[in-house]
Amino acid sequence: MRMFSFLAAAVVVAGLAAPAPAQDLRVGVEAGPTSNDPHYHSLITNIAFSRHIFEPLVVQDAQQNLVPGLATSWKAIEPTVWEIKLRPGVTWHDGAPFTADDVKFTLGRAGNVPNSPSSFSVYTRPVREVEVVDPLTVRLHTHAPTPLMPNYLSLVMTVSRRHGEGATTADYNSGKAMIGTGPFRYAGWEPNQSLVVQRNDAYWGPKPAFARVNYKAIPVAATRVAALRAGDVDLIEIVPPDEMTKLKQETARFATAESISNRLIFLLVDADREASPHVQAKAGGAIANPLRDPRVRKALSKAINRDALVDRIMDKAALAAGDLGPPGYFGTSPDLKPEAFDPEGARRLLAEAGLPDGFTLTLHGPSDRYVNDEKVIQAIAQMWSRIGLAAKVEAVPRANYFSRASRLEFSAMLLGFSPNPEVIGMLETLVHTFDAQLGLGTNNRGRYSNKATDAMIREARSTVDDDRRRALTQAATRAALADTAVIPLYFQYNTWAMRKGLAYEPRTDEMTLATSARPAN
């Protein structure tokens, strides 16, 4: 993995110090995990919580560079064979040794969990066979050259065969199967309320600074800030931009940390069905789905004033997006700029598509997942109204939003995605034609499809040569954006605030990890 130029995070914290004596940490987060099963839902929130109890073979550090985890080394010994050396002396929370057999079991399970709303199969499907060479060596035989295999492995938490074989998602949710190798042990979970973990004193790596950590789900941002000010929690995430400005000024009581996010906030629209559930004629009644027409999709993009979203809705705590990854990300193109705000051009495109009077469209979005998400969809709907659409808005709590989106219940939707640390991770998941067998297009909820772009994506994801893979990635991105497969909006900033005496190492992947918090000097 590479260091990226945008990762010079603005950090308003003291230097990280050595762990203090045992103490508790109370963390206010926007939401807890949707499940404790580390393979149930490929969602950054779930992955973050899983990392306390379980571990991947390869770890992404705060800047998303790859560093050793349960694997001490990895290398491609042949174009389709990765040899992975495992860390000796690691034990599961029950004292049993961690071995290659656990890795083989994990890679067989991770992409095959029933009823997953967003499967991990995109990361495991490239593996044709897991060869156990010895207790501390595995070889992954892939169907094709897979240069991103270490990146994929960094997103898959390793589980115990002994406790995972035959275990269901319900067994993980109940705590029965929650036996990991991680720095913390599972201590309890109340869905939508709290998750409690206790320090694993037998952990193979650096011991956490805190003996017990209580993650409290506080979905309303203002309530999280109030909880911090009242002393009910010690650390909070996703601080509203205006509150972040205030907290930065109160250095006697608080510290803050921030960095740009790799998460793209974007729109997907139903580019597939002949009739779409939330599209109607302007006067009411059925209409052939206009979102299948690339001119209409481009019109919707041109009608959005991204600078206004960044300046007014996000209070400048975001960066307008014209690419699928932020500046410096592998596979981005420095010359790609955000779509220019051009309402007149948007109207012309609608007229060319035979819709001079527009149509009725409902834009769906989460009400409690991204910073100011409901305000963003309201603002976009107003912008669309100005080019002749009868634009409506429906904000849905995240508890239902993503499952409904996966069931293709929406015609236009606001989403966010943090790709594997190359832009190809965005393309293969969001742009490639949905293909359950290949594990591609798993989050392509608009069911966009273009065979030529698919071919470039598949070639890129199997190309070991960096320069060639970069060129293919850039070409596939340009093709996808030219056809408006995705409507990029902006990259939000990641923010944290904490009581004085704490420090937090900000992360580009948005994860709020107890292992990233330390007592300050």
Spatial distance between the Cα atoms of 214 and 196, rounded to a whole number of angstroms: 5
Residue 183 maps to a domain: no
Under 8 Å between Cβ of 76 and 86: no
CATH code of the domain containing 483 = 3.10.105.10
How much is the mean pLDDT over the chain? 92
Phi, psi dihedrals of residue 64, rounded to the nearest 5°:
65, 30
User: According to the model, what pLDDT value does residue 7 have?
Assistant: 33
Using the predicted structure, report yes or no on whether residue 320 has a pLDDT greater than 80: yes
pLDDT (0 to 100) of residue 9: 37
Residue 326 lies in a domain: yes
Q: Are 23 and 210 in contact (CB under 8 A)?
A: yes
pLDDT at 181: 98
Task: Band the pLDDT of 41: cuts 50, 70, 90.
Answer: very high
Domain count, the chain: 1
Q: How many CA atoms lie within 13 A of 178 on its CB side?
A: 24
52 close to 196: Cβ distance less than 8 angstroms: no
Per the domain annotation, does 509 fall within a domain? no
Report the percent of the chain where pLDDT is more than 70: 96
Q: Is residue 22 part of a domain?
A: no
In this prediction, what percent of the chain has a pLDDT beyond 90?
82
Cβ–Cβ < 8 Å for 211, 196: no
pLDDT at 4: 35
156 part of a folded domain: no
**What mean pLDDT do residues 124-136 have?**
96
Query: What pLDDT is recorded for position 369?
Result: 85
Identify the CA nearest to 468 among candidates 330, 313, 284: 330
Tens of pLDDT, residue by residue over 196-247, are: 999 999 999 999 999 999 999 999 999 999 999 999 999 999 998 889 989 9
Banded model confidence at residue 465, pLDDT cuts 50, 70, 90: confident
Say if 425 falls within a structural domain. Answer: yes
Q: What is the pLDDT of residue 2?
A: 38
pTM comes to 0.73
* Res 20 pLDDT > 70: no
Q: Are 199 and 184 in contact (CB under 8 A)?
A: yes
The residue segments making up the domain with residue 343 are 263-491
DSSP string, 43-106: -HHHHHHHHHH-B-SEEE-TT--EEESSEEEEEEEETTEEEEEEPTT-B-TTSPBP-HHHHHHH
| pLDDT band, very low/low/confident/very high, at 260 (cuts 50, 70, 90) | confident
371 — pLDDT class (breaks 50, 70, 90):
confident
Torsion of CA 386, 274, 435, 479, to 10 degrees: -50
Q: With a cut of 90, say whether residue 317 has pLDDT above it.
A: no
501 domain-assigned: no
- What is the tens place of the pLDDT at every residue in 81-126? 999 999 999 999 999 999 999 999 999 999 999 999 889 998 999 9
pLDDT in tens, 398-408: 889 999 999 99
Among 372-376, 417-421, 430-434, 485-489, the range scoring the smallest mean pLDDT is: 417-421
- Of the listed ranges 9-18, 305-314, 370-379, 495-504, the least confidently predicted one is 9-18
* Predicted confidence (pLDDT) at residue 379 exceeds the cutoff of 70: yes
Write out pLDDT tens, residues 409-426: 999 999 999 877 789 989
